[in-house]
């Protein structure tokens, strides 16, 4: 009972495949509040540079409103449209610039949070949202409760900060009656900056905590149970029996190829019973002798049996057999340290077979001297 319960609990860290699939689904911890705070900050900084131009435009609009001939003209849709277009042509570029800067800052912050991940699945309609049961779960879910607390926290921040800022700025507000209109922009921008940056500092702290929560909550949702990890591993790699069967088939094919190459060998070196190494050498290739087959135990026995069936000499050389088995893989050439011992062995075999041993010995010795010259020995 306990083992089954433990296997169902999501206590394990998500695998790389689970994280990758979650990113494709758009399941990434993102704080929209954090992006909004950065976007508002960028727009407000830009506003401080754009505001003088906007103030001049507002002055121009106000001056034209009192000095134009609009009052003496007959009001019609055409005159209203012309006036509205004139006002918009002055203010829209600045407002559009502020909007674009806020959007770039907010979108850039979101892109950094997601590491520039994009998923179309987030914008696809989900019919599961129409299910009233799912809707109730979302209403009383952890995410909605957290959002409610965030809204309450924002009110608790905006209210006191605005209240304190009002009393700090109250002496300046009383002096506005004696301030020229030309200085109202300076005082208004200073007061707005004073309130805004105090609000944004607390909202930044709150949004940072929200970002940490979103990352943690996403990680918690991606956690897997031990059974899920086993199922994923099985789906990717196959079950254990299948893997073993595939490995066994691969080893068997490699052994079959190795056994098929034994008839091409010139000699089999043995230990005498535990190890067997089949060597092949071609005078025409000009290379070093190669190991075409090797094995221990029952494989060594099979190598000796095939060698006997094909009339290949079997020679007992314990040190050489151990060295060849340890140092050379199947299909590889023998190292130069073993050239002399193998040359003597091949000369002995060729002498038995009636071939020219001197030619083989000289070819291998020449190969050994060339290797020593290249290595500086």
> What are the angstrom distances between the C-alpha of 176 and each of 5, 113, 170, 171, 186?
71, 44, 10, 9, 11
**SS3 state of residue 131:** coil
pLDDT for the residue numbered 84: 76
- 38: Cα separation from own chain's centroid: 26
Set out the domains of the chain in order of their start, with CATH numbers. Answer: 14-233 (no CATH), 244-375 (3.40.1690.10)
What stretches of the chain adopt beta strand conformation (E)? 267-270, 275-280, 290-296, 314-316
pLDDT digits (tens, 9 = 90+) for 171-192: 877 777 777 766 776 777 788 8
How are strands ordered across the β-sheet holding 275-280?
290-296, 275-280, 267-270, 314-316
Q: Mean pLDDT in the chain?
A: 80
If you average pLDDT over residues 295-313, what whole number do you get? 91
Most confident of 196-200, 249-253, 279-283: 196-200
Enter the pTM of the model: 0.53
How many DSSP H helices and E strands does the chain contain? 13, 4
> What is d(CA 303, CA 333) in angstroms, rounded to the nearest whole number?
19
Q: Give the DSSP letter of residue 316.
A: E
Longest dimension (CA), the chain: 130
Residue 351: both structure tokens together: 């002498």
What distance in Å separates the CA atoms of residue 173 and residue 106, rounded to the nearest whole number?
33
pLDDT tens per residue across span 11-37: 888 888 888 888 888 788 889 999 999
* 41 DSSP 8-state letter: H
356-374 pLDDT, tens per residue?
445 555 555 555 566 555 5
DSSP, residue by residue, 52-111: HHHHHHHHHHHHHHHHSGGGGSPP-HHHHHHHHHHHHHHHHHHHHHHHHHHHHHHHHHHH
pLDDT average, residue stretch 264-289 = 84
Q: How far is 349 from 351, CA to CA, in rounded Å? A: 5
Give the model's confidence band at 377: pLDDT under 50 very low, under 70 low, under 90 confident, else very high.
very low
């Amino acid at each position: 009972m306990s083992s089954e319960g433990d296997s169902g609990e999501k206590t394990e860290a998500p695998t790389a495949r689970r994280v990758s699939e979650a990113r494709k689904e758009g399941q990434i911890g993102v704080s929209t509040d954090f992006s909004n705070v950065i976007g508002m900050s960028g727009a407000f900084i830009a506003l401080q540079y754009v505001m003088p131009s906007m103030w001049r435009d507002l002055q121009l609009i106000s001056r034209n409103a009192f000095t134009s001939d609009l009052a003496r003209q007959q009001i019609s849709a055409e005159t209203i449209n012309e006036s509205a277009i004139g006002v918009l042509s002055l203010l829209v570029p600045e407002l559009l610039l502020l909007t674009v800067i806020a959007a770039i800052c907010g979108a850039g912050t979101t892109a950094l949070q997601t590491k520039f991940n994009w998923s179309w699945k987030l914008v696809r309609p989900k019919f599961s949202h129409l299910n009233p049961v799912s809707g109730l779960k979302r209403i009383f879910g952890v995410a909605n409760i957290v959002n409610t607390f965030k809204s309450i926290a924002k009110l608790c921040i905006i209210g006191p900060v605005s209240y304190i800022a009002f009393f700090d700025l109250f002496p300046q507000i009383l002096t506005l009656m004696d301030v020229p209109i030309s200085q109202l922009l300076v005082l208004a921008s200073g007061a707005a900056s004073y309130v805004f940056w105090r609000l944004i500092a607390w909202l930044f702290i709150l949004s940072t905590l929200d970002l940490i929560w979103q990352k943690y909550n996403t990680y918690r949702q991606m956690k897997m149970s031990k059974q899920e990890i086993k199922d994923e591993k099985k789906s990717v790699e196959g079950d254990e029996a299948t893997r073993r069967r595939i490995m066994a088939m691969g080893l068997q094919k490699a052994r079959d190829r190795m056994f098929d190459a034994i008839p091409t060998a010139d000699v089999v070196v043995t230990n005498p019973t535990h190890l067997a190494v089949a060597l092949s050498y071609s005078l025409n290739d000009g290379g070093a002798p190669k190991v075409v087959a090797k094995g221990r135990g029952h494989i060594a026995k099979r190598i000796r049996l095939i060698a006997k069936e094909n009339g290949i000499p079997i020679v007992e050389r314990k040190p050489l057999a151990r060295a060849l088995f340890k140092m050379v893989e199947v299909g590889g050439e023998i190292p130069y340290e073993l050239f002399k011992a193998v040359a003597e062995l091949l000369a002995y075999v060729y002498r038995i077979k009636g071939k020219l041993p001197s030619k083989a010995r000289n070819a291998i010795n020449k190969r050994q001297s060339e290797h020593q010259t290249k290595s500086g020995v």
